[in-house]
Amino acid sequence: MHTQFATEKHVKYLKRHLGLLPSSQQSHDVNKMAIIFYSLVSLSAIGIDVAKEYGSSAQWICRHRIALESSGSKVALSGFVGSLTLDIPNTNTVSLPNTLFALLVLRLLKCDEFFCSVRNRETICAFVSTCQVAEDGSFTSVLANKHFLPSPLDASDLRFCFIAVEILCLLGCRKLQDYSKYINVDKLIAYILSQQCDSGGFGSYGEPHAGYTSCALSTLSLLESLACLTDEFKELTLLWLVHRQVSDEGCMQLQCKNPFFDEEDHGGFQGRENKFADTCYAFWCLNSMNILQFNTSATLGTFESAKMYLLSRTQNTIIGGFSKNDVDDPDLYHTCLGVAALKLIEGTFNGVLFLPSAIDVSS
Ligand SMILES: [Zn+2]
């Protein structure tokens, strides 16, 4: 059983994604910005000086910012595309997720010049503002063609609320009044509160989901509005999160039985009830617990057994990387989330921003 973090193997695995993308990933060109972000943030979290090694690529990343022009609109908007092959005339391919990935990459590469430009900041904030759905305060990830309105074809959910707010944070918003310059914060908070589930946690249609829960809590944390949640709901949410940890001994913290487990999953987290453990949910659950200040010495067991699960079950010590579970091959997304979870446990990762704690976002 491996219980050591295979640093060198992981660094090689991640750098391979930044060189020639494996041919199996060529169809993922649209996800290129995501691939670059997952690789760089993981390398940075491991301790590689990515600004030094990859800083010369910052200008190429900046070229993925596209201005959106509309004859009727007086406000200039801009955002990022995931790939330059997607810069198609008269089609809005700029999206909130690609904009966040690109901004995080530029922060990792210490491209302060980009963040100093008032024009960059204002046009991107205007794009975020336009993605907010007037009716309920949520966000869509793209705009409909021509009219520059939130796309009616796109889902609007807690993921895009989080992405919108983090983009504004990376562009300098800190206090509620900063965010209020661009978005309707009251409506956004009301939307987030509407996604609370009776059993604790957040999700659509009343079913809590660990990913949505992390997005909701991270958004409220950035908005300094966690106090909007009642103590009762916070406790219910902690209880729900604790029960997502799969245990072969029953639930460790609460001395009650967890009937849904595969013995091999011990210590891992599931994202929803009655599911198997999955590497990425270790991050979403631990980050949520961290925000709710559950990470105290009294609950060290939760974090320690999650760490052992990741290192001994889903870490690949031969080719590097982490997989979703103890059966699949490693993939970049689960590698990134596995590394992030381990660094969160070590206390060197800012789970709300999804950046290593050492990365400065103050400029
Ligand atoms: Zn997963």
Q: What is the pLDDT of residues 244-253, one digit of tens each?
A: 998 776 444 4
Dist. CA 38 → ligand 1 center (Å): 14
Q: What's the whole-number mean pLDDT along residues 91-97?
A: 84
% of the chain surpassing 90 pLDDT: 69
CA 1 to ligand 1 center in whole angstroms: 22
What distance in angstroms lies between residue 279's CA and the mean position of ligand 1's atoms? 6
Q: pLDDT by residue (tens digit) across 164-214?
A: 999 999 999 999 999 999 999 999 999 999 999 999 999 999 999 999 999
| Residue 266, token pair as written in the block | 């011990």
Helix 231-242 to helix 279-291 angle, to the nearest 10 degrees?
A: 150
How far is the centre of ligand 1, averaged over its atoms, from the C-alpha of 154 (Å)?
22
CB-based burial, 143-169: b 16+ in 10 Å, e otherwise: beeeebebbeebebbbbbbbbbbbbbb
Contact status, residue 161 vs residue 215, Cβ threshold 8 Å? yes
CA of 334 relative to ligand 1 center, distance in Å: 6
Q: What is d(CA 209, CA 194) in angstroms, rounded to the nearest whole number?
A: 14
* pLDDT (0 to 100) of residue 90: 63
Ion ligand 1 neighbours, Cβ < 5 Å = 278, 280, 324
Distance 68 CA to ligand 1 centre (A): 34
Share of the chain above pLDDT 70, in %: 87
Residue 10 belongs to what H/E stretch? helix 7-18
CA angle, 167 as apex, 285 and 358 as ends, to 5°?
65
Q: pLDDT tens, 346-362?
A: 999 999 999 999 998 88
Distance CA 360, CA 207 (A): 36
- Residue 27 has a pLDDT of 53
- CA-wise closest residue to 353 among 278, 290, 299: 290
Distance 143 CA to ligand 1 centre (A): 28
φ, ψ at 206 (rounded to 5°) = 80, 0
> How far does residue 280's CA lie from ligand 1's centre (Å)?
4
The reported pLDDT for the residue numbered 272 is 87
Q: Which helix (H) or strand (E) holds 163?
A: helix 158-170
